Amino acid sequence: MTVASSAPREAFASRAGFILAAAGSAVGLGNMWRFPYQASEGGGAAFVLVYIGLTLVLGIPLMLAEFGIGRRGQLAPVGSLRKLAGPAWVPLGYLFVAVGLLILSYYSVIAGWTLRYGLEAVFLGFPADSAGHFAAVASGGDAVAFHVAFMALTVTIVIGGVKGGIERASLLLMPLLFLMVVGLALWAATLPGAGQGYLVYLMPEIDELLNPSVWRAAASQAFFSLSLGMGGMLTFASYLRRDQNLPESATVVAFTDFGVAFVAGLLVFPVIYSFALQDAVSASTVGALFIAVPSAFEAMGPLGRIIGLFFFVVLAVGALTSAISLLEVVTASVIDEFGLSRRRAALLTGAVITGLGVFPAFDIDALGLLDKIAGEFLLLAGGLALALLAGWRLRAAVSDELLAGASPRWQRQVPRILATLRFLVPPIVVAVLFFSLRETTAAVVAYFGR
Ligand code: TRP
């Protein structure tokens, strides 16, 4: 029942616009915060190698499963799955909508912190007691206020539509973000003691290559960072015409995402080691970004305020282009399924997510728990379903869709991509899911037992 099917579907105006929007979805807090942290935990260069391998074997094929299904279906996940695979798959579409609601509800709280820190850099400077400051503002009424402000920005862009909102914002913000990240990394290279930071970040601990928990961490990181497993890329691809070279686009998006994550590590680690802040980092995952790095800016005086401003603007911009894609999955589903106008749908879904976000905004442990459940486990489960769907049930349609618009060179890769989706992706994701289920259950038990 696609009530709104009479109106022509919105579309991206340019091929670059789609690529930048998809890259905007991928590049976000996951790159700046989770990647460097996980690399340092998971054996430095060993983690980076595993991550690159999994990006090639899981990431790009799964992104193409989403691209293929989305462009074929020309509807948000619920509608595309119903149209292509039948009504039995509709619940999977609604699961994606639920995952979008959950992830954005806490993602926006973290993004709200970045807005706040950016504003503080301008008006107040960074506080001397960085850890105490974070503890004071990370949860409670302050966190709710900035979460609401960030959601308002996100809703405004999504109301602007695919071309006038999402594409326009991505074309403007993504080049800005690339320039600022590279600029900041170059600045970090000049810090005394930068070399030690690089060493800790990238020292290859080769025995970690055999550690299953490094593989699990790298796989979940790849899903989250590439925005896979909840129909985000599927939804963007539903706004494409058949002239887009999908295999090439997916490869460009995946390497852009990796590039930004890698460079973010070249920025964060020299700062941490130059200012001897490693203890603040190991204390918590958000510690690096919101405690250690700001205290370095504080120690640098006025220059620190300027650099710090750029740093938090980069984070906020990355978070915004990612949040857009999370909200778009939910909004587009409401538009497609219930025939609401884009404006109404975005306001309604934005309000629901803003309300949900009050919980993680008041309780940082709930935030961490939601990230484990929705940001890891449910994404892996969704990705497994999408791989099976694209590789088996919809194989002919997806293969046809990936060939359309691809140059001959990329067309030759299509059989290989489908074989990977059929035989390689499902067993790897099942194995990772097993470990993730154990960890997620333990996290749930720990949360409710506290
Ligand atoms: N990829 C984004 C990041 O790294 C977050 C994100 C946006 C996301 N859309 C998504 C994660 C969809 C999972 C699914 O910050």
255-305: pLDDT as tens digits: 999 999 999 999 988 988 888 877 766 556 677 788 888 988 998 889 999
Q: In whole angstroms, what is the distance from residue 329 CA to residue 96 CA?
A: 8
**What pTM was computed for the model?**
0.95
Q: Which atom of ligand 1 is nearest to the CA of 318?
A: 15
Chain length of the chain: 450
Q: Retrieve residue 213's tokens.
A: 């928990």
Amino acid 79: pLDDT: 98
Q: 229: CA distance to ligand 1 center in Å?
A: 10
User: For residue 215, which of 16, 14, 54 has the smallest C-alpha distance?
Assistant: 54
Mutate which of 32, 326, 331, 373 to test ligand 1's pocket (most atoms within 8 Å of Cβ)? 326
Q: Of all atoms in ligand 1, which is nearest to the CA of residue 319?
A: 15
**What is the model's pLDDT at position 195?**
94
The CB of 80 under 6 Å from ligand 1? The reply is no
Looking at the CA of residue 230, tell me the nearest atom of ligand 1.
14
- Please give the number of the atom of ligand 1 that sits closest to the Cα of 31: 4
Ligand 1: residue of 174, 223, 227, 370 to mutate (most ligand atoms within 8 A of CB) is 227
Distance 374 CA to ligand 1 centre (A): 11
Give the distance (Å) from ligand 1 centre to CA of residue 233: 10
The span from the first CA to the last CA of the chain, in angstroms, equals 46
Spacing, Cα 239 to ligand 1 middle (Å): 19
For residue 415, pLDDT over 90 is answered with yes
Binned at pLDDT 50, 70 and 90, residue 1 comes out as very low
CA distance to 60, 155, 195, 248, 282, per residue, from 251 (Å):
6, 29, 31, 5, 33
Check if 379 has its Cβ closer than 6 Å to any atom of ligand 1: yes
Reported as a single tens digit per residue, the pLDDT across 305-338 is: 999 999 999 999 999 999 999 999 999 999 999 9
Question: Which residue's CA is minimally distant from atom 13 of ligand 1?
Answer: 227
Instruction: Give percent above pLDDT 70 in the chain.
Output: 97
